[in-house]
Structure 1
């Protein structure tokens, strides 16, 4: 084996970056961060509007789902980040935490220490909020959290339109209440993306006890006598961990590598010719994701950012950003949205909106030649459960990703209700001066069967996958509430795969919180002083 480390972190995404930054605060702890992707030097990773390029392939593994049998065999592009910072380096920078009840539900499932009051201090610890410093928000943390700098007048018209259908304005959806429409705060600092890598890794690269290796793909975990002792790289190099191996590959990457290591459902692994190291059937089960639907309206004039797709306007947009940090380059393009109810009896909002200040922003979404806006909706608490499985023992092969969208009829009904609500909002009088006509779904979509046919063609992932290495106190759970692997020593899983149920919002902020909380638990277990 090559040089040993105290901690090996597999995956430099949101949670893995936090672990690297926090554990290396102790100069006596030798920390190795292994990231299969490359660097984030490309300016597109740092410009807020660079998100529009990300779901189309930049910094991505390029994976798709298997055909979705409950959606007329639709295949979804399933963007998974392949760059330092992970999803936080390529997402729309929307800073949402979920609903307080999401975490209290985890606690009620037996996951002590994961209730809302338990995790709130870690959200606050991470934040350097440019607006709030109160019970719900913090300042001085590594992660830039900012108000959007480039909204458009149509955003205020959207707020007024939502009020027409009874949805109030909410100035802080991460505060006391989640209900209402809002400007989202964004993971930005000084109108540049504040990815987890930029917040936790880049400022600490000078530390002699932190080693960061990019383009470093792990082939398998090394297990000796019931303990994970290190990793083997794809080139055969073996690296030893004297304290713990920390898996932070995300809801797709973590179960994938575990299975490649012979850790997972024994029968399935044997069918692929993989020697079983540890039988754990729940690995790769319980996949949850938010299915994103969208309503697209054509505008009467240049009221969105669509015109900046043309070369001359794009040059002007770049100049605006350089001079004043304003304009379309400064926009995440989805900084307006909110939370409301498809089911009026739901315990908290079950629909999330994202107002896209343009069309064709994400892969597979239609563009309007004369310009338009896109109002997305996603049902936040899906009952459907999917899987992540290997298609072969070859680590170069893409995994079989099956979100199993709309398997549960409730998901289908609530998703369609959410889409109808977006249509209702966009049809209100405050938007009449802006909107020429609804183009998708359009007037020909009338019955629920019509809506189902429409969403089987026009929908996408919200990029909120979770749950595939479920935390719990039962024997079947993959990790316990301290995130230690249930059955093997020396291994923790620290990423969104540990969520028992997906939270009711975007998931990046929660991944950072999980990394912060795990760091303190690891420090406490090994006598390292918590920051």
Structure 2
């Protein structure tokens, strides 16, 4: 029997992007008691500078201090490589270790969601008000952007001339400049937004969770590994009544009188469901787990963005390579600690964009992040020369993977397979990504800076050569999603309904990127926050925000022109 102190109205599993939002919004009601359980540590302490200094994000991505540090199964279409899959394990979750890029996705992504049975209220008109509710943009609000939300968003200053060269080269190649790819027009190249405020990372722990922790009706416990959801014996449908939590060698049980809400993300949420007996009953029995709710879609439909780097040597010493020596890093760190300014106060992804890979593609399907340095995303391949690079990859992959239990031990990472590049469509789009990026880098704007092609080299030209390069070098853009996807309960692939409620259960909900029916065209932190804001209103029984009437841009000649 649980003690009275271990009974809450809501138990939120995971203090990441969605969990922090829900903790904040649910505890706005002073009569509701909420417990947040986070498997990782807090986001403060001697080592936490690597979480809060924007330019230091490569460090938590490359270590397991604040990171689940997952790796996939050998991927059959990537030369058998085990693909790295970092996931946040800290207050703020992946919003505390990610690259801080703030991108919402394209309006047509949400129009596509709304066409699934049971998801009519996930259209762009329904979602845009919640993007605005969550955000405060430093330039102010408008019909697309918010100015009163908890999440602080800044736009890249683009002081390094290479940023402007990239945007100008795009225009010379025939692509438009867009000043706000989260506004009316996503398509084009321009400055990018980041979740940075006054030179510090604005994670959801900073924006949502910390303010809520001052309320007496919220309790947050770190280093609390949830091993399974508990169900009321004999209930039909199965009613979630709490969770089991590993406490050293002991297992504690904590009761929820209203709901258990899983916010573990696209890897951990399906893992916890399966450990709890929710999933493919045959697979569960194979691990000695008694099925409680047969849902074969749990852990399936895994989607992600794959990206590659197009790297070029720079003939002028103006890149971030100058900042990579120990004395330079010390100087940058000291300036940031003292003033919150300088090279330490940005994620350096200050320019980017979206283009269409071919005529007949209605919305952009390739995304760019431009970086004035040649280095791997997580810092595992240090810069050794002055260079610049574009991260580029398809936005709406047709490949599908899975997250499945390895065994019944909750401390053992699940089996993850992305199945990247398993379809010809994905290979076609990635080939276009390489060739179109080379064309942009070949424009006049880069003439003062362009050195030799570094990766891929000039010799990589044919379809087969590009395919081989991708298999050997492409990496995850770190956007796993869709493993507990929303949809109507008569759809065998759907796990949750349009409010995140798990089919076949009561009192159990999933709210995170795993419930996306399809991955959006862009980074996932902003959409995940939006989804949590929207579902928080549903949980509280509040009237949804009024639908937006703001239009969006579609290229007038998309059927016949690539640009």
Give the alignment's TM-score, normalised by structure 1. 0.97
CA contact (8 A) 2:404 2:415 kept: yes
Q: How does 1:347-358 map to 2 (within 5 A)?
A: 347-358=362-373
Moved more, 49-58 or 391-400: 49-58
SS of residue matched to 1:76: strand
- Which ranges of structure 2 fall in alignment gaps of 5 or more residues? 547-563
* 1:393-416 superposed Cα distances (whole Å, 9 cap, x missing partner): 111111111111111110111012
Distance 1:81 1:147 in 2: 24
Q: Is 1:428 the equivalent of 2:420?
A: no
* 1:461-498 superposed Cα distances (whole Å, 9 cap, x missing partner): 01111100010114221111121111010011111111
Q: Is 1:277 the equivalent of 2:292?
A: yes
Distance 2:336 2:374 in 1: 21
Counterpart in the other structure of 1:63: 70
Q: Are the structure 2 counterparts of residues 19 and 171 from structure 1 closer, same or farther at C-alpha, using a change threshold of 3 Å? A: same
Counterpart in the other structure of 1:27: 30
Match of 1:46 among 27, 41, 52: 52
Q: How does 1:165-204 map to 2 (within 5 A)?
A: 165-204=173-212
Match of 1:219 among 199, 215, 227: 227
CA contact (8 A) 2:130 2:545 kept: no
Distance 2:51 2:251 in 1: 31
Counterpart in the other structure of 2:554: none
* 1:312-345 superposed Cα distances (whole Å, 9 cap, x missing partner): 1112222443455443211202221100011221
Distance 2:277 2:488 in 1: 23
Distance 1:46 1:284 in 2: 32
Q: How does 1:67-466 map to 2 (within 5 A)?
A: 67-110=74-117, 111-149=119-157, 151-224=159-232, 225=235, 226-234=238-246, 235-322=250-337, 325-363=340-378, 366-466=381-481
Distance 1:508 1:14 in 2: 7
Q: Is 1:524 the equivalent of 2:541?
A: yes
SS of residue matched to 1:511: helix
Q: Are the structure 2 counterparts of residues 49 and 361 from structure 1 closer, same or farther at C-alpha, using a change threshold of 3 Å? A: farther
CA contact (8 A) 2:36 2:220 kept: yes
What is the Cα deviation at residue 150 of structure 1?
Answer: 6.1
Distance 2:394 2:38 in 1: 32
What is the Cα deviation at residue 148 of structure 1?
Answer: 2.2
Distance 2:190 2:463 in 1: 29
- Which ranges of structure 1 fall in alignment gaps of 5 or more residues? none
SS of residue matched to 2:8: strand
Distance 1:431 1:316 in 2: 30
Distance 2:438 2:340 in 1: 33
SS of residue matched to 2:98: coil
CA contact (8 A) 1:161 1:426 kept: yes
CA contact (8 A) 1:359 1:366 kept: no
Distance 2:23 2:521 in 1: 27
Q: Are the structure 2 counterparts of residues 434 and 323 from structure 1 closer, same or farther at C-alpha, using a change threshold of 3 Å? A: farther
CA contact (8 A) 1:150 1:330 kept: no
* 1:45-80 superposed Cα distances (whole Å, 9 cap, x missing partner): 111112121321241111101111122212111111
SS of residue matched to 1:445: coil
CA contact (8 A) 1:220 1:233 kept: yes
Distance 1:321 1:148 in 2: 17
- Deviant stretches of 4+, over 6 Å: 527-530
Counterpart in the other structure of 1:9: 12
Count of residue pairs brought into register by the alignment: 529
CA contact (8 A) 2:196 2:346 kept: no
Q: Are the structure 2 counterparts of residues 150 and 424 from structure 1 closer, same or farther at C-alpha, using a change threshold of 3 Å? A: closer
Q: Are the structure 2 counterparts of residues 211 and 221 from structure 1 closer, same or farther at C-alpha, using a change threshold of 3 Å? A: same
CA contact (8 A) 2:163 2:350 kept: no
Counterpart in the other structure of 2:551: none
* 1:149-194 superposed Cα distances (whole Å, 9 cap, x missing partner): 4641110011111112111110011111111111111111112111
SS of residue matched to 1:158: helix
Give the alignment's TM-score, normalised by structure 2. 0.91
Q: Are the structure 2 counterparts of residues 301 and 367 from structure 1 closer, same or farther at C-alpha, using a change threshold of 3 Å? A: farther
SS of residue matched to 1:237: strand
What is the Cα deviation at residue 36 of structure 1?
Answer: 0.5
CA contact (8 A) 2:158 2:351 kept: no
CA contact (8 A) 1:383 1:408 kept: yes
CA contact (8 A) 2:9 2:259 kept: yes
SS of residue matched to 1:439: strand
SS of residue matched to 1:421: helix
